[in-house]
């Protein structure tokens, strides 16, 4: 198994700032998001990592480049993309409620199994991420892994690693540019920190989480 897993949510994007659901669509970092990403440098450079992965969406990849430097070797991994919200992507939560009221209500009542048209359920997201983690445990045994990704992926990664049910999904908050860390030992995983933003608070860069669809719409 891997030795450690550090998960970083991307900095605030332009769509985060105006509360638009992104999912697999892309939106560049806002100026605040770029400042958040640069602030990550101080905390991430205190650690040691054997390999670095990122969602292939630019808001995650740009966060990694700003945090680690433009010459950092970062491997793009599509399975680290955010929860796919299908036809809701590009809309605000209010737009979704107005245009697809029945689908919105079903999803809000049961996000674990209900899929927006063209999108994923939370269980689908969990299965996607669990498959990737299983692959890493086999292929990257003993390695310290750093990941730049999205709020939904952070949450399900922690739940998979700790063997937790998905039911608390909507109650977990993952701020932009926050850090979550896990260590793995023979008797299981240990959560060292979740959604840490201490590196942002001193610089007054903590923004809203833009969590509007049972979690991050990011």
Q: Which residues are catalytic?
A: 10, 82
Q: Give bridge partners of residue 9 from the DSSP assignment.
A: 149
Q: Which distant-in-sequence residues (6+ apart) come within 8 Å of 143 by Cβ?
A: 2, 3, 50, 51, 136
Q: Give bridge partners of residue 196 from the DSSP assignment.
A: 179
Distance between CA atoms of residues 140 and 135, nearest Å: 8
Q: Which distant-in-sequence residues (6+ apart) come within 8 Å of 166 by Cβ?
A: 112, 122, 123, 126, 156, 159
In residues, how long is the chain?
218
């Amino acid at each position: 198994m891997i030795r450690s897993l550090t998960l970083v949510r991307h900095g605030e994007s332009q769509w985060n700032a105006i509360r638009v659901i992104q999912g697999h669509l892309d939106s560049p970092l806002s100026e605040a998001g770029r400042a958040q990403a640069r602030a990550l440098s101080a905390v991430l450079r205190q650690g040691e990592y054997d390999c670095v992965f990122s969602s292939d969406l630019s808001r995650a990849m740009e966060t990694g480049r700003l945090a680690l430097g433009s010459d950092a070797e970062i491997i793009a991994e599509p399975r680290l993309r955010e929860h796919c919200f299908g036809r809701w992507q590009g809309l605000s939560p209010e737009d979704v409620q107005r245009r697809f009221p029945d689908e919105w209500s079903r999803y809000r009542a049961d996000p674990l199994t209900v899929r927006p048209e063209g999108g994923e359920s939370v269980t689908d997201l969990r299965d996607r991420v669990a498959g990737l983690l299983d692959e890493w445990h086999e292929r990257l045994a003993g390695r310290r892994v750093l990941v730049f990704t999205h709020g939904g992926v952070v949450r399900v990664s922690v739940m998979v690693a700790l063997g937790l049910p998905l039911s608390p999904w909507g109650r977990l908050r993952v701020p932009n540019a926050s850090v979550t860390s896990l260590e793995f030992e023979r008797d299981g995983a240990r959560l060292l920190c979740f959604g840490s933003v201490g590196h942002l608070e001193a610089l007054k860069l903590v923004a809203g989480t833009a969590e509007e669809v049972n979690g991050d719409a990011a």
